[in-house]
Amino acid sequence: MLNVGIVGGTGYTGVELIRLLSMHPEAHIVTITSRTEEGLNVCEIFPSLRGHLDLIFVKPSIDVLSRCDVVFFATPHGVAMEQAQSLVDRGVRVIDLAADFRMKDLTQWKKWYGTDHSAQQLLEEAVYGLPEINREKIRNAQVVGNPGCYATAIELGFAPLLSSGLVDPRSLIADAKSGVSGAGRKQELGIIYSEIGDNFKAYGLGGHRHHPEIVEILRGITGANVELRFTPHLLPINRGILATLYANLNERSAHLVRTAFETFFENEPFVDVLPVGQFPDTRSVRGSNFCKIGLQISEDENSVLVVSVLDNLVKGASGQAIQNMNIMFGLDEKMGLNSLGLVP
Amino acid sequence: MLNVGIVGGTGYTGVELIRLLSMHPEAHIVTITSRTEEGLNVCEIFPSLRGHLDLIFVKPSIDVLSRCDVVFFATPHGVAMEQAQSLVDRGVRVIDLAADFRMKDLTQWKKWYGTDHSAQQLLEEAVYGLPEINREKIRNAQVVGNPGCYATAIELGFAPLLSSGLVDPRSLIADAKSGVSGAGRKQELGIIYSEIGDNFKAYGLGGHRHHPEIVEILRGITGANVELRFTPHLLPINRGILATLYANLNERSAHLVRTAFETFFENEPFVDVLPVGQFPDTRSVRGSNFCKIGLQISEDENSVLVVSVLDNLVKGASGQAIQNMNIMFGLDEKMGLNSLGLVP
Amino acid sequence: MLNVGIVGGTGYTGVELIRLLSMHPEAHIVTITSRTEEGLNVCEIFPSLRGHLDLIFVKPSIDVLSRCDVVFFATPHGVAMEQAQSLVDRGVRVIDLAADFRMKDLTQWKKWYGTDHSAQQLLEEAVYGLPEINREKIRNAQVVGNPGCYATAIELGFAPLLSSGLVDPRSLIADAKSGVSGAGRKQELGIIYSEIGDNFKAYGLGGHRHHPEIVEILRGITGANVELRFTPHLLPINRGILATLYANLNERSAHLVRTAFETFFENEPFVDVLPVGQFPDTRSVRGSNFCKIGLQISEDENSVLVVSVLDNLVKGASGQAIQNMNIMFGLDEKMGLNSLGLVP
Amino acid sequence: MLNVGIVGGTGYTGVELIRLLSMHPEAHIVTITSRTEEGLNVCEIFPSLRGHLDLIFVKPSIDVLSRCDVVFFATPHGVAMEQAQSLVDRGVRVIDLAADFRMKDLTQWKKWYGTDHSAQQLLEEAVYGLPEINREKIRNAQVVGNPGCYATAIELGFAPLLSSGLVDPRSLIADAKSGVSGAGRKQELGIIYSEIGDNFKAYGLGGHRHHPEIVEILRGITGANVELRFTPHLLPINRGILATLYANLNERSAHLVRTAFETFFENEPFVDVLPVGQFPDTRSVRGSNFCKIGLQISEDENSVLVVSVLDNLVKGASGQAIQNMNIMFGLDEKMGLNSLGLVP
């Protein structure tokens, strides 16, 4: 039985970790921290957990956390990089759901997150927690940077094409649409219901934090320079990301596309490549850890369209974090993650 | 042409006033004030108004406002009562969309709004702006307290029953459901999309500010004591209130119910009593100033059910305010308010 | 391991049975029937099930079904009563999710379902599958009539009050609101998105099929005559029922209410009575088998308000059916039903 | 005063025509036809119209229709081409909101609509009703083919780029998202609320009827071959289209983009090019006849992104049809179309 700590349990990735871990036979939540809600029972904020959890939010304490086997940081960006080292020093493995350990490029980090990175050595050792490309490294990682939700959907959609050299890596377009829970649980005028309901818009067109993360990973896959146009949109749904991906095919590559995907994801427990002519909707993965992918070759065979969906709080955050935990501790990778999409 | 001022133009009742007044042939918006957004063009916040309005938010100024014929307060509770007297002294008529001039009962005011009322003399003169019961008083009012959105739906639904003595006034139940825009345009965790979307709940069960307002008005109609159970719920829709009203019928009253409604609202331009067996949905009044009402007598003829719907931002706020303005200035009561429900 | 058959697997209760049974350690789905989709893989209709189920829709066959330990009917009303007897004769136990075995009153059945009941003897033996009031009878039942979704929410909300004699049974009001999946998966103009989205309405005001079912059960609980006003409404959400219940308290009963609920549901695994001042929202039980209940006494102590929520497809249908299956076969009642509400 | 007939008044474009025409000072609806609803009052289907219209659905009659100045066909594809000639022969001008008179290419017509075109001569004379590119031809047209909703959004977004030769016409991508009302008011499993709500998907990836229409128009604008990848998606909103458009800029063209748009739409009453850094959301045009457009040049200046929004039932259908009517009859083009977006 793994002893698990959660730092920052009041957000949506926090409650999703708790929900998923409550179905995990080998994980035991030891402590949940929150500075703002200290002393409150977790179920007061999330009544859905009543009867399954009897924990009080506590201030983060190195003593308590160091008794854990693994600590999840479900905190805003910048928190994990301050606290991870002291945990690692005490033999605790860390999975950060924020951006602190995703990008190696310190210049990009500073540009997008506004501060210098305060744990640069740890960052070097940290492993990007996308099992489909980094499974072996994750096994022994002390610190895992859990990928962003957009990043997971887009990287899984482009990876087979880039790794097999079927497309021009400078022709990538990711037209991505996300449910509102991706913006977190916070007081913000732009995400109140009356601003989002029965409405739709693009945002972040001047540049988005996930862009450099994605480019860095895709460049690692292809080895060549990557040019990616990335347009996020905000959907009036709670959960779910759908990324519509476009790329120009190299000559005589069209017939290789489907095989490239099927081979790349052959043994992947959580990626499902749909048959010809089928395309996934977001609800098919609602609450589940799957990424589902549909493929379409243009009539002139010059380009490929990939539709990639996942639940931003599961495969895009807490589910993938638990998948990483399972890998790190030698458990069955699917443990606790076998629930199916909630339809409708 | 009426010169109109709007104090507090950054909320939803503010932008709705602007939208409706832009279609009003006899109203000209002179000034829109906002302390927080001073200097910003109104269209920056509400791009839907681009091309129809070229006004900058300014600090409220008694000089500018006193050049208006009428000033709407689309501010939080407590603002109008501080500023109305000086406008009235300068011959400006005031319509307050908040609660400052709705209730005569100073004890209830203090209980629900937390402060003493600072304009008690003006409050005595002020008229409750529900045209269907107060039209003549509104004509000459210097200050109108525009009814709350729940209050309008519930009062219009019970008024014919109480005024004709068909029901027991101590048996009233109002099970009311409101769209989220009724909560205003503000940063608040409880109304972000992820808390409201695909979800439904009751709230304010320990007591709601609109309760004493409604009871005071209903008591005025019946002359007797009123007991009202009022349960508000929050709907995952932008606009619209639907109130399901229950009352116990006095003996041999059932057959008089429909006539009571048809008579009460006979010449009302904005209340529509639906035929037998028809019941309104909220969208049928979306964006329009109508209140639509459906009626059902229970099989045993012991009780009556009334379904009353309106758009909380129109008949429940800004539309009714303009209707009041039309009455106050001797204009056609329907002027600028003839748009139909947006369906779907 | 139980062998399970599902008759009529193309609706929402069908796919929900499949989703829930896929997490049930002691159930094995042997066959899923559909006349209309014969030959199609179940996953073609419900891609969320891909990888977890490899079954083809087949025509219902008594031979195949009789090899099952239990057969769920997720069919329209009127199907189970034609087929149940032959299954029971072969030792197969039947759980009908439609209305065929819910009401004993044959006159009411004919009135609301338009035909004579064709399995009257079986109906007499059949047990109403609400474990909280019928657990012992369910254990040995050959045929269980699984309660309707509205019925479950309303009966659980009124049962403690009626069984302990705290309220006037002729004063009951159930103002109930349901998500659209309660209307089933069918081509119908009234439930297309454009008719429901950003909209809200009451319906069935002239009488609703669930009304006699509820009254029959409540009368059984209290022993006295029950008068119930029942107003269903249609919410623009996928799943969830919230019933707002009103009843007049007998004198000096107010202080007994909470204890009545806590006692009645003391050992119930799936009913959660919330603490004073807390009220449930529908999402807190989304995808889970819980019914959550909040209580409020009116200030004058003359009446009580109960808010009861459940997921219409889980505790209101397929989850409760599995709960009944667990009871019938001596399994842990919670087996396969321990997932928590999906929030947000 | 124009006498107006509407053929096929039971769909959403029909009721939207009625809503908009009810605010038009120079139009009088003479007749509304429906074969299926003959004899029913229009307000029975659309209670939002009560009090503003007292018309009964009648069977289409050439006698009654020929008394009109203009007849709108709000019918399925294939109806107008059968009936338009006899109306034109009687001096009635025709505006078809379906696809019958949009495309000149008869091969494409047959491919996508499954039949030969039965009014080929009339088709030759018919004018594509996009005022921003065809205003002069519309003035004298006897038959106008009103553009599709996707087509309008995409054509207006690409037109300035293509007409000024700033982009490679073979690099066009239109990633488009539509509200559900675009699918019409019909019984169809795929558009019921439970299939759409809290969900998102792409559709029509194997080819969409609007694709050849758009390509034909764009080719007309540029004079060169056009390659367009078009991906429609279905949004869980009632109204609104947002098209995210991508094109590769020719060298040294980036700085000309904004001017191209501002010049192209300089005197257009219903197209609004937003300032630098602003992008439109669908609600900003809800219920209004505006198309709003935002622009973004990629950092490397190699490509341009255009975000184009409109209300699919107004500028994408009935509003544009009335705009065409105004042009055809020499009225102020904006007459009856001055309402602003309903926000929120």
Question: If DSSP states are collapsed to H, E and C, what string results for chain D?
Answer: CEEEEEECCCCHHHHHHHHHHCCCCCEEEEEEECCCCCCCEHHHHCHHHCCCCCCECECCCHHHHCCCCEEEECCCCCCHHHHHHHHHHCCCEEEECCCCCCCCCHHHHHHHHCCCCCCHHHHHHCEECCHHHHHHHHHCCCEEECCCHHHHHHHHHHHHHHHCCCECCCCEEEEEEECHHHHCCCCCHHHEHHHHCCCCEECCCCCCCHHHHHHHHHHHHHCCCCCEEEEEEECCCCCCEEEEEEEEECCCCHHHHHHHHHHHCCCCCCEEECCCCCCCCHHHHCCCCCEEEEEEECCCCCEEEEEEEECCCHHHHHHHHHHHHHHHCCCCCCCCCCCCCCCC
**Which amino acid is residue B121, in one-letter code?**
Q
Choose among A12, A23, A340: nearest Cβ to C22.
A340
Cα–Cα distance for residue pair B148/B154, rounded to 1 Å: 10
Q: Which domain holds residue B171?
A: 150-312
C341 part of a folded domain: no
Chains that touch B (3 or more CB pairs under 8 A): A, C, D
Cα–Cα distance for residue pair C44/C48, rounded to 1 Å: 9
Indicate whether A107 and A221 sit together in one domain: no
Q: Is A199 on the interface with D (CB under 8 A)?
A: yes
Residue B149 designated active-site:
yes
Q: What is the pLDDT of residue B118?
A: 94
D272 part of a folded domain: yes
- DSSP summary character for residue B246: E
Cα–Cα distance for residue pair D6/A342, rounded to 1 Å: 43
Choose among C12, C292, C339: nearest Cβ to A344.
C12
- Burial code of D250-276, b = ≥16 C-beta within 10 A, e = fewer? eeebbebbbebbeebbeebbbbbbbee
Q: What is the pLDDT of residue A307?
A: 98
Neighbours of D35 (CB within 10 A): 13
Cα–Cα distance for residue pair C294/C309, rounded to 1 Å: 9
- Any idea what the CATH number is for the domain that residue B199 is in? 3.30.360.10
Cβ atoms of residues D101 and D76 within 8 Å: no
B185 part of a folded domain: yes
C195 contacts in D (CB within 8 Å)? 185, 193
- Any idea what the CATH number is for the domain that residue C79 is in? 3.40.50.720
**Residue D209: which pLDDT band, with cuts at 50, 70 and 90?**
confident
Cβ atoms of residues D23 and D318 within 8 Å: no
Displacement of CA D94 from its chain's centroid (Å)? 15
C344 part of a folded domain: no
In terms of Cα–Cα distance, which of B326, B341, B307, B272 is closest to B129?
A: B326
Q: What is the pLDDT of residue D208?
A: 85
Q: Could you read off the pLDDT of D65-119 as tens digits, one per residue?
A: 999 999 999 999 999 999 999 999 999 999 999 999 999 999 999 999 999 999 9
Please give the structure tokens belonging to residue B137.
């008083």
Choose among D19, D51, D278: nearest Cβ to B272.
D51
Could C242 and B233 be called an inter-chain contact, meaning their C-beta atoms sit closer than 8 Å?
Answer: yes
Indicate whether B178 and B295 sit together in one domain: yes
**Which amino acid is residue A288, in one-letter code?**
S
Cα–Cα distance for residue pair A226/A253, rounded to 1 Å: 19
Q: Is A344 on the interface with B (CB under 8 A)?
A: no
**Chain D, nearest residue to B193 by Cα:** D198
What is the residue-wise DSSP string for C244-290? EEEEEBPTT-GGGHHHHHHHHTTT-SSEEEPPTT----GGGGTTS--
| Dihedral angle over CA of A213, A216, A221, A227, nearest 10 | 100
B333 part of a folded domain: no
Q: Is D202 on the interface with A (CB under 8 A)?
A: yes
- Measuring CA to CA, how many Å separate A228 from each of A225, B66, B188? 10, 56, 36
- Measuring CA to CA, how many Å separate C128 from each of B260, C183, C217, D325? 44, 21, 9, 63
B221 part of a folded domain: yes
The angle subtended at Cα C115 by Cα C321 and Cα C80, nearest 5°, is: 30
Cα–Cα distance for residue pair C4/C18, rounded to 1 Å: 10
- Measuring CA to CA, how many Å separate C271 from each of B238, C261, C330, D207? 32, 10, 20, 50
**Chain B, nearest residue to D309 by Cα:** B48
Indicate whether A158 and A286 sit together in one domain: yes
Number of domains in chain C: 2
- DSSP summary character for residue B148: P
Cβ atoms of residues C291 and C272 within 8 Å: yes
A48 contacts in B (CB within 8 Å)? none
**Residue D186: which pLDDT band, with cuts at 50, 70 and 90?**
very high
Cβ atoms of residues C109 and C128 within 8 Å: no
Indicate whether A128 and A201 sit together in one domain: no
Where chain C has pLDDT below 70, the residues are none
A201 part of a folded domain: yes
Q: Could you read off the pLDDT of D213-233 as tens digits, one per residue?
A: 999 999 999 999 999 999 999
Cα–Cα distance for residue pair D165/D271, rounded to 1 Å: 20
Choose among B12, B280, B344: nearest Cβ to D238.
B344
The minimum CA-CA distance between A238 and chain C, rounded to whole Å, is: 6
Neighbours of A219 (CB within 10 A): 15
Indicate whether B113 and B207 sit together in one domain: no
* Omega before residue A344 within 30° of 0, cis: yes
Q: Is B122 on the interface with D (CB under 8 A)?
A: no
**Residue A206: which pLDDT band, with cuts at 50, 70 and 90?**
confident
Indicate whether A135 and A250 sit together in one domain: no
Chains that touch A (3 or more CB pairs under 8 A): B, C, D
Cα–Cα distance for residue pair C130/C144, rounded to 1 Å: 9
Question: If DSSP states are collapsed to H, E and C, what string results for chain A?
Answer: CEEEEEECCCCHHHHHHHHHHCCCCCEEEEEEECCCCCCCEHHHHCHHHCCCCCCECECCCHHHHCCCCEEEECCCCCCHHHHHHHHHHCCCEEEECCCCCCCCCHHHHHHHHCCCCCCHHHHHHCEECCHHHHHHHHHHCCEEECCCHHHHHHHHHHHHHHHCCCECCCCEEEEEEECHHHHCCCCCHHHEHHHHCCCCEECCCCCCCHHHHHHHHHHHHHCCCCCEEEEEEECCCCCCEEEEEEEEECCCCHHHHHHHHHHHCCCCCCEEECCCCCCCCHHHHCCCCCEEEEEEECCCCCEEEEEEEECCCHHHHHHHHHHHHHHHCCCCCCCCCCCCCCCC
Could C339 and A341 be called an inter-chain contact, meaning their C-beta atoms sit closer than 8 Å?
Answer: no
Indicate whether C86 and C173 sit together in one domain: no
Indicate whether A191 and A86 sit together in one domain: no
Please give the structure tokens belonging to residue C79.
């199907």
Q: Is C258 on the interface with D (CB under 8 A)?
A: no
The 3-state DSSP class for residue B63 equals helix
Helix axes C106-113, C210-222, angle to 10 degrees: 160
Q: Which of A37, A194, A235 best probes binding to B when mutated, by most B CB atoms within 10 angstroms?
A: A194
Cα–Cα distance for residue pair C14/A344, rounded to 1 Å: 12
Q: Which of C193, C196, C203, C234 best probes binding to D when mutated, by most D CB atoms within 10 angstroms?
A: C193
Please give the structure tokens belonging to residue C68.
């099952």
Does residue D206 carry a pLDDT above 90? no
Cα–Cα distance for residue pair A40/B337, rounded to 1 Å: 50
- Burial code of C94-110, b = ≥16 C-beta within 10 A, e = fewer? bbbbbbbbbbbeeebbe
Longest dimension (CA), chain C: 63
The minimum CA-CA distance between A11 and chain B, rounded to whole Å, is: 11
Cα–Cα distance for residue pair C291/C337, rounded to 1 Å: 13
Per-residue pLDDT of chain B (344 residues; tens, 9 = 90+): 999 999 999 999 999 999 999 999 999 999 999 999 999 999 999 999 998 889 999 999 999 999 999 999 999 999 999 999 999 999 999 999 999 999 999 999 999 999 999 999 999 999 999 999 999 999 999 999 999 999 999 999 999 999 999 999 999 999 999 999 999 999 999 999 999 999 999 999 988 889 999 999 999 999 999 999 999 999 999 999 999 999 999 999 999 999 999 999 999 999 999 999 999 999 999 999 999 999 999 999 999 999 999 999 999 999 999 999 999 999 999 999 999 999 99
Phi-psi label, residue C274: left if phi above 0, alpha if psi -120 to 50, beta otherwise: beta
Residues, chain A: 344
Q: Could you read off the pLDDT of C103-116 as tens digits, one per residue?
A: 999 999 999 999 99
**Residue A10: which pLDDT band, with cuts at 50, 70 and 90?**
very high
Cα–Cα distance for residue pair B71/B85, rounded to 1 Å: 12
| Non-local CB neighbours of D35 within 8 Å, separated by 6+ positions | D59, D60
A285 contacts in C (CB within 8 Å)? 48
**Residue D255: which pLDDT band, with cuts at 50, 70 and 90?**
very high
In total, the C-beta contacts within 8 angstroms joining chain A to chain C are 82
In terms of Cα–Cα distance, which of A108, A147, A142 is closest to A124?
A: A142
Indicate whether B171 and B275 sit together in one domain: yes
Indicate whether B168 and B306 sit together in one domain: yes
Choose among C194, C196, C197: nearest Cβ to D185.
C194
Q: What is the ipTM of this complex?
A: 0.97
Indicate whether A139 and A16 sit together in one domain: yes
**Chain C, nearest residue to A198 by Cα:** C198
Indicate whether C308 and C160 sit together in one domain: yes
- The DSSP element (H or E) to which C333 belongs, if any, is none
A280 part of a folded domain: yes
Could D22 and B340 be called an inter-chain contact, meaning their C-beta atoms sit closer than 8 Å?
Answer: yes
